[in-house]
Amino acid sequence: MNVMVRGKLRHFRTVDFDAAGNAVVLIEQRLLPHRFQRVWMGNYQETASAIRDMVVRGAGAIGATAAYGLAQGARAFPGKGLPSFERHLDRVHQVLASARPTAVDPVNALVEVRKAMSGGRTVERQQELALEAAFEFGDRNVDECRTIGRLGAHLIGNGMTVLTHCNAGWLAFVDVGTATAPIYQARQEGRDFTVLCDETRPRCQGATLTAWELAQQGVRHAVIADNAAGALMQQGRVDLVIVGTDRVLARTGHVVNKIGTYTKAVLAHRHGVPFYVAAPVSTLDWTTQDWRAIPIEERSQDEVLGAWGATPGGRSRYIRIANPGSPALNPGFDVTPPELVTGIITPAGILKPSELPHTK
């Protein structure tokens, strides 16, 4: 998408790769919306840390970052022997896969790159194939998001108010985004509407990232407190909900997304508001059959007990909000059951959860 940087409108991808420097190039999302900055991860350990510490976040974006990270680790191997190269790849794979355990995109991306590499008979050829596969994963992520936008745009009519939760925009993917893709497409087609951005405590990705994105793209929007959504639905002031997802169980239709998504789905169901989930193919989990087996990331208490902001001078600062000495619980994700989901917007069409293919 396009970003205004030093007075000039420029196109950026959330995740990119510098082949000459063997570096993964990311937008430092923790600085947004106050500062736009790109950072270079010099080795796969730094790339894994960027995923874990949320320099980069969002299902497709961390999937692409993991794919590039695997290629980066493969290209850094100095030897020629395939057995030692395979052991090295196993280490790289494990470090990247464990960085964010709830999202399935990184695992799918890593498996895809490893499969592509298996066609090479030398270390050098496998290194080449790794980078080719990583670029292919990123490009396909963008293509699928564009398709989701074309298929979902008709859901948004003139004068509607659309609610979204967290950030499933281009910052959460390589470009375009999933939940935002129909929004951007409908805007491009000339329709006039308003987007409500849940603030999405505790990290406030809706207030900081989605609102920043929509402002950059000229889409009318407003930030609301997470607890305001129910009252606005009750008043008839929300026409549609579109969210992204970090994992969809293909066999059952359960949707894993940022904490608070389940709450919005319950409220939408109670008030008869359509609730849609936008999901690329890489977000489908083809193996897990029981949603209770999904690893739900438990993040730092500090995210709940305080908040990050910017000083008047633009410097980031953390401030404690909660009572001193009080602990917090901080699950990063929740699970929405399929009966609360109106439809899942996929590159293959808008499907009911029960219509998802169970196998690739």
329, 296 in Cβ contact below 8 A?
no
Backbone angles phi, psi at 27, to 5 degrees: -85, 125
Extended beta strands in 57-171, E state:
161-164
Q: What is d(CA 220, CA 225) in angstroms, rounded to the nearest whole number? A: 17
C-beta separation of 36 from 80 below 8 A: no
Distances in whole angstroms, Cα of residue 123 to Cα of each of 43, 44, 67, 126: 18, 18, 17, 5
Q: Which one of 198, 239, 246, 285 is the catalytic residue? A: 246
d(CA 203, CA 30): 9
Residue 239 is a catalytic residue: no
247 Cβ contact partners less than 8 Å away, ≥ 6 residues apart: 59, 102, 103, 104, 255, 256, 283, 285, 294
Q: How remote is the C-alpha of 82 from its chain's centroid? A: 34
What backbone phi and psi angles, to 5 degrees, belong to 141? -60, -45
Q: Can you tell me the distance from the alpha carbon of 97 to that of 131, in angstroms, rounded to the nearest whole number?
A: 17
Of the candidates 182, 181, 179, which has an alpha carbon nearest to the alpha carbon of residue 257? 179
Task: Please state, in angstroms and rounded to a whole number, the distance separating the CA atoms of residues 332 and 269.
Answer: 23
**What is the C-alpha separation between 22 and 70, in angstroms, rounded?**
11
Give the C-alpha separation, 156 to 192, whole Å: 9
Q: Which amino acid is located at 238 in the chain?
A: V
Contact 341, 350 (CB under 8 A): no
The pair of structure tokens assigned to 337 is 């059951």
Give the residue numbers marked as catalytic: 246
